Chain A
Amino acid sequence: MANEVDCRGMNCPAPVLQVRNVLESGTPVLVSVLVDNDAARQNVSRLLEHNNYQVKSELCGDDFRVIGTLKEGVTAKESLPPITSNKLQNMGRKKIMVLITSSRMGHGDDGLGDMLMFNFLKTLKEMLPELWRIAFVNSGVNFTADGSEAIPLLQELEGAGVQISACGACLAFFHILDKIEVGVVTNMLEIINQMKEADTVITL
């Protein structure tokens, strides 16, 4: 059974929000969206593609119908970034800052440490909505730079409103200042100010 969403008469970003709500309320295999302007058609298509839908659109009188079919093997729920902005999330909530000082977790075996840290970043979204800031220092900054497998994970967190930052001096030390792919460049003063503002700081 297809989900029908009528977004005629709506201007951007309203159609995207409507469709987003539909995706969040279940895992529709088929979504059909009616829009009456080309910008809405393109924006809704982008949202659906971003959430692993195969998208086609057709003229429907003076309107457009955008049809999304969920790709094999994915559920919409999994592929959606966690909901809403940090502004809304953090209103009155606890603010947790995570400081990552290394590319691996703990001492012992390096390979195991790498794997554990990656797994930590992957699971970190469970800390939402209290998760507020992630700051990377020392070899931790490598997670934010070109070639890191953690980039999509961090982008997802960023999309959920978490601020990601990487120490500029550390990026420069590893010669990857121009390769940062996610988050913003920060400095010690900003990190200290964030620590002051946070309710909890977790250091790894």
Chain B
Amino acid sequence: MLNEPIRLTQTVKGGGCAAKIAPGILDKALCGLDLPVDPDLLVGLERADDAGVYKISDDLALVQTLDFFPPMVDDPFSFGKIATCNALSDIYAMGGVPKTAMNIVAFPAKSMDISVLRTILEGGLSVLKEAGVVLVGGHTVEDNELKYGLSVTGFINPSKILTKRNLHPGDSLILTKPLGTGIITTAIKAGLAGEEVVERVISAMSTLNRDAAEVMADFTAHACTDITGFGFLGHLAEMVVDSGCGAKIKSSAIPHYLEALNLADMGLIPAAAYSNREFRGKFVEFDHSITRKMQDLLFDPQTSGGLLIAVEHNQAESMLEALKRRGIECAAIVGEVVLNPVDMIIVE
């Protein structure tokens, strides 16, 4: 037992974005809240998006977000990196540039060595440095289960905000990271994930969406979100419903971890995948050829997932090429926005 490496996933009930409270339940707490009004609040709670935007001047606005969760991988340094990439991602998805961040920590100091926390924070800092973001503070509370994340503030040009609700019929949909991290991290918790796939998943989850966002800024993107806890179809359903459009998805084009399909067959699916389907299933129509495991994958909650970008159709191929040139090799055109049927995603 000497120097046995700590397995963070064994210390918590559920990890990563799969630990998000189910969307249907959250709505009950949020709907009808009496929110303060301010004309400079450009994107706020009443039209929930990846991040909030507050206008300072005609060409400058603050973009703010917050994300934290229990560990979904065993290694503390990797967990720190992934949580930080995930928190920064919302800023990139809005088209902003992150500038400052603050740590949010819940730590079981009675049962876990404090060196674990230090390693997590070091992992987080390594990503902040890569992103050119400064850490300005943080807050730590004692808790039974470990949680880590950040509150992030960035700058954005108010005329270049990319929300979820501006899909145009005919747009192509591009996804920049493979799906399946929720299923594979469930297998990690179960001790049933192969070493090699764990490495690949950790590396993808620790990859910033910055490069993808920078490429996106060079093209006419109409809408964008990052894929996290609600899964690919959950987030796409939000975009479709908010924009009054529909979407057609080509399942064979979806980038994913092959292993995730096998693991889904074995029942290693996070509970949040089922609640995502329950809440958003009514917006989705699967062709009869779509296997159950592929459906599971499309609802699988992602941690630090990729960007889902709606780009003008005639620019889609060149954007894809540009993404690949930037090293985002698994990016793919996965479908298109349609006018009919409205509020519906057809998966073929």
Contact = CB atoms under 8 A, between A and B. Distances in A.
A and B are interacting partners: yes
Interface of A: 11-13, 16-17, 37-40, 42-47, 50, 81, 84-88, 90, 155, 158-159, 161-163, 181-184
Contacts of A45: 267
Given A17-B190, A158-B194, A159-B263, 5 more contacts: A13-B192, A16-B268, A40-B271, A46-B269, A84-B192
Contacts of B147: none
Nearest to B195: A87
Contacts of A81: 266
B231 interface: no
Chain A CB within 10 A, most for which of B193, B198, B267 = B267
A26 to B, nearest CB: 19
A99 B189 CA distance: 31
Which of B189, B266, B268, B275 has the most CB atoms of chain A within a 10 A radius of its CB?
Answer: B266
B315 interface: no
Contacts of A12: 14, 186, 268-271
Given A11-B14, A159-B262, A182-B258, A43 B268 contact: yes
Nearest to A40: B271
B274 interface: yes
Interface of B: 13-14, 186-187, 189-198, 200, 258-259, 262-271, 273-275, 292
**Which among B191, B193, B271 has the highest number of chain A CB atoms within 10 Å?**
B271
B269 A85 contact: no
B274 A42 contact: yes
Contacts of A38: 274
Q: Is the interface of B mostly helix, strand, loop or mixed?
A: helix
Contacts of B264: 46
Contacts of B271: 11-12, 37, 39-40
Given A12-B186, A13-B189, A183-B258, A43 B269 contact: yes
A184 B264 CA distance: 18
A44 B194 contact: no
B342 to A, nearest CB: 30
Given A43-B268, A158-B262, A184-B258, A84 B191 contact: yes
Given A11-B14, A163-B196, A85 B191 contact: yes
A39 to B, nearest CB: 3
- Closest 4 A/B residue pairs (Cβ): A39-B271, A43-B267, A47-B267, A46-B267
Contacts of B191: 84-85, 87-88
Contacts of B198: 87
A38 B22 CA distance: 14
A95 to B, nearest CB: 11
B53 to A, nearest CB: 35
Contact of B186 (A13, A87, A159): A13
Contacts of A85: 187, 191-195
Contact of B265 (A46, A86, A184): A46
Contact of A13 (B259, B268, B274): B268
